[in-house]
Amino acid sequence: SIWQILEVMVLSALAPLSLGFHAPMTAVAPASRAAVRMQVGYVAPTAPGVAETPLARGNAPLGIDSSILVQGGSLRTWSYRSPSVEQVQVVLSTEGRPLDADIELWQGPDNTPCKMRVYVENGQLRPFSAVVETPRGPNTIAIRNIGQVEFPLAANVVADNVDAPSAECLDTRMTIQGGALRTYPFDPTVDSVQVLLKTDGRPLNARIELLQGPNNNKQVIELYTEDGLDRPFFCILETPGSGNVVRVVNTAPVEFPMTASVVPNSINEQMGYEAVLGGDVVLGGDAGW
């Protein structure tokens, strides 16, 4: 009949529409997904709440990276509620631009038991790495990039596998009176040094400088700790090249002495075979022409 013919025509016209709405999406082959990931620079996703940035990775293999990009003028915080977290390690780096940051430890309202100002001339060649004591939680680490917007930095704060001073660093300590300073020159074979500052329980105010040449500051750390015994300061300074000198200044009054230990951390034996500007070269010596 005519009605049956019309019904068949209507159903045949609606069939493509129903298929368009209900047909499942075509699966993408794994090879195609891999090709797309390579084109857009895909990196394996990180843990929830952790940002993954090319700046933070540097030369590290592709994978999980807990570093966070801190733009110029911005602030990032890391909170640890567990009292079992007694120390954390702070690592700051850049893509080769200068690094200028404020690091503070917050414990309770309006209580800042430790704070430091960090400047590095080249955050890729000399990344900043320090250990902050966090006894009696909860604690919060606040990192503020006080540089301009053109100078972002990558920040990473971890509570496991924290660096510790060596036995030599713990044994070789020197007292620095208030207002005094000490200098520690190092050979070109030393790639990095350990710095440990403590007091007998009094406040700790110090400035650590890495010099390479006359008054040429490559890295500067201005430090304050309310209790140098409960919260000692430990960091590792990268010292590539030759002519590196670490200068430690006790900026507190004479009533607040402190102890300092600065020892080599890593040695590069190959550096000793290269030419060093200003080395042991004597002009006009016994060599004949």
Please tell me the least confidently modeled range out of 20-24, 92-96, 266-270.
20-24
Contact 90, 103 (CB under 8 A): yes
CA–CA gap between residue 216 and residue 204 (Å, rounded): 25
Quick one: tokens of 171?
């044994």
Please give the helix or strand (H or E) that residue 245 lies within, else none. Answer: strand 244-250
Is the predicted pLDDT of residue 6 greater than 70, yes or no? no
pLDDT of 193 reads 96
DSSP alpha helix (H) spans, 23-61: 30-39, 54-57
The structure tokens listed for 92 are 């700051």
Nearest of 216, 219, 225 to residue 251 by alpha carbon: 225
- Pick the range with the lowest mean pLDDT from 86-95, 195-204, 280-289: 280-289
Lowest mean pLDDT among 51-55, 104-108, 133-137, 148-152: 51-55
Residue 70 has what pLDDT? 94
In this structure, the number of other CB atoms found within 10 A of the CB of residue 280 comes to: 5
**Which residues sit opposite 132 in a β-bridge?**
88
Give CA–CA dist 90/233, Å, rounded.
12
pLDDT score, position 82:
87
Instruction: Quote the pLDDT of residue 43.
Output: 37
